[in-house]
Amino acid sequence: MKSLLITAAAAIGFALPAAAQSGEPIKIGAVLSASGPASFLGEPEKKTIELYVDRINEDGGLLGRPVELIVYDSGGDANQARTFATRLVEDDGIVAMVGGSTTGTTMAMAPIFDDYEIPLMSLAGAVVIIDPVQPFVFKTPHTDKMACEKIFEDIEKRGLSKVALISGTDGFGKSMREQCLGVVGDYGIEIVADESYGPKDSDMTPQLTNIKNTAGLEAIVNPGFGQGPAIVTRNAAQLGIDVPFYQSHGVASKSFIELAGDAAEGVRLPASALLVAELLPDDDPQKDVVVDYKTTYEAETGEPVSTFGGHAYDGLMLVFDAIKRANSTDPVAIRDALEETKDFIGTGGVVNMTPDDHLGLDLSAFRMLEIQNGDWTLVD
């Protein structure tokens, strides 16, 4: 019952100079939603973290010590996550933590890590995790607010200003809609229509007809997740709406193009560089990192890479990087080193953290993509 996934053990004694693996293991904890409704987040995250802890141990570990990973599955339940978090800091004695997968589990665990002064590297999206800043709480994924800004920036660049919103009423769509309405004032953009649809609706023609009949309509933005946005895209094409159409990073996967079919042509969306790893120019700072992660993950797991796994890669590597620079496994020293992270290149972007910015990404982390001939192309 002591600990479950001692990934470190396997590496010891294999093809390694014995000296490299001497010393107490460095314990890193992870509470992920590997099962349950959020398993599409937790599963690739868990695989990624296990894979890269194995790899660092094969390479001689960290500071000459092996890394021991302790993973618990919260099933997406906040209460359960908090119990596991207590266990990690109290019983397992971790020095840093990567996870949770969802905003709810992260927010439930955060107070424990602030109490025990151990850094928490969240893999969840919402901006509330890092704003206001909590001393020991960090996160890797870009926020939906940044997605809104990226989209509005692009709309402005095209000289358009009258925008319609059509949002899903799921957690993702609702949160992003609010963020978009919050930042729209910073741009020369006016929201002329604001429609919504349920996550299980199968026809959005009525909402889109309202939008189509809105005077002066110049662009449509669809904050949403899952199947909804594909249906919205199809319906918009059926209604012959031909203004520029923007989707969110929430549907940045090949399955969206498959579901939306020809209607997806010309749709733009912000996404992380990982999605277009091969398309990046060779001088792109992220090129090497994203191509390496993508090929490694796909070769080891046999599954297509996802941005969620990428967030976990970034989180784990940021923690490793901080431990190396701190040259210490003292949690407070790791936290201090994390705050000094400069020009760290991850799959999500180039990270520059400060004591006031525990995310460290700017808008360049997002790439604006356009769908052409059933595939992604880079706009900028």
Partner 1 sequence: MAARFGAALILALVVVAVWFLADSNFVLRVATLVFIYGLAAIGLNILVGDAGQVSLGHAGFLGIGAYAVAIGPASLGLHPLLALVAGVLLAGVLALVIGRPILRLRGFALAVATLGLGILIAMVINNEAWLTGGPDGMRVGRLELFGWRARGTDTWYWIAAAALIFGAIVASSLKASPTGRALRAVHDSEVAAMVAGIDVARYKSAAFVISAVYAAIAGGLLALYDGFVTPDVAGYLTSIEIITMVVLGGMGSVLGAVVGAVILTALPQMLTAFAEYEHMVLGLIMMAVMIGLRAGIVPSLAALFGGVLRRVR
Q: Which residues contact partner 1 by CB under 8 A? A: 1-2, 4-5, 35, 72-73, 76-79, 82-83, 86-87, 90-91, 102-104, 107-108, 111, 126, 128, 169-171, 174-175
| 57 contacts 99 by C-beta, under 8 angstroms | no
Judged by beta carbon, residue 81 or residue 334, the one nearer partner 1 is: 81
Question: Shortest gap between Cβ of 130 and partner 1 (angstroms)?
Answer: 14
| 219 contacts 164 by C-beta, under 8 angstroms | yes
Q: Chain-centre distance of CA 345, in angstroms?
A: 15
Closest CA to 152 of 238, 218, 212: 218
Judged by beta carbon, residue 88 or residue 337, the one nearer partner 1 is: 88
Judged by beta carbon, residue 292 or residue 303, the one nearer partner 1 is: 303
Judged by beta carbon, residue 86 or residue 205, the one nearer partner 1 is: 86
Our CA angle for 179, 184, 185, nearest 5°, is 125
Question: Shortest gap between Cβ of 25 and partner 1 (angstroms)?
Answer: 18
How many other C-beta atoms lie within 10 A of the C-beta of residue 225?
18
How far apart are alpha carbons 188 and 163 in whole angstroms?
Answer: 11
Question: Shortest gap between Cβ of 90 and partner 1 (angstroms)?
Answer: 4
Judged by beta carbon, residue 60 or residue 171, the one nearer partner 1 is: 171
Judged by beta carbon, residue 34 or residue 338, the one nearer partner 1 is: 34
Question: Shortest gap between Cβ of 80 and partner 1 (angstroms)?
Answer: 8
Question: Shortest gap between Cβ of 168 and partner 1 (angstroms)?
Answer: 12
With residue 162 as reference, give the H or E element that holds it: strand 162-168
CA distances for 242 relative to 1, 59, 165, 259, 270, angstroms? 60, 54, 15, 19, 20
Question: Shortest gap between Cβ of 258 and partner 1 (angstroms)?
Answer: 27
Amino acid at the residue 178: E
Helices 103-116 and 78-87: angle between axes, nearest 10 degrees: 30
